[in-house]
Amino acid sequence: MYDKELMMAVLTASTALAGLTGVVIGQIVQSGLVNRMKFWLRIPLIFSFLLAILAVTYAIAWFTSPSDLDKVVSLLLFAGQLVLFSAVSATFWLSG
């Protein structure tokens, strides 16, 4: 019923979360953590960027020709991005 609003929310939130991911990567790089831990925290955040790009791509694809597959894939990619970002961010701030 509110599919357009849902896809606009995914576009907006996924893009904003990608920006926050960049901020967290910057904080990890400047932190006093050992290099090995910095590496293992940055890798999932880079995957979060990739999930953001794919989520936005599928949301735009849904706008050009609405299909249920594009909508579901976009939502699942955004959910994965959110979970991955939250887990790594919590790990970073709890380890500091």
DSSP state of 27: H
pLDDT computed for residue 7 by the predictor: 93
* Cβ atoms 33, 78 nearer than 8 A: no
What's the whole-model pTM score?
0.88
What is the total residue count of the chain?
Answer: 96
Which residue is associated with the tokens 């576009």?
Answer: 11
CA distances from 64 to 4, 21, 27, 70, 94 (A): 11, 28, 37, 10, 42
pLDDT digits (tens, 9 = 90+) for 67-79: 999 999 999 999 9
pLDDT digits (tens, 9 = 90+) for 12-69: 999 999 999 999 888 888 888 888 888 888 899 999 999 999 999 999 999 999 999 9
Considering only residues 2 and 54, tell me which one the structure prediction assigns the higher pLDDT: 54
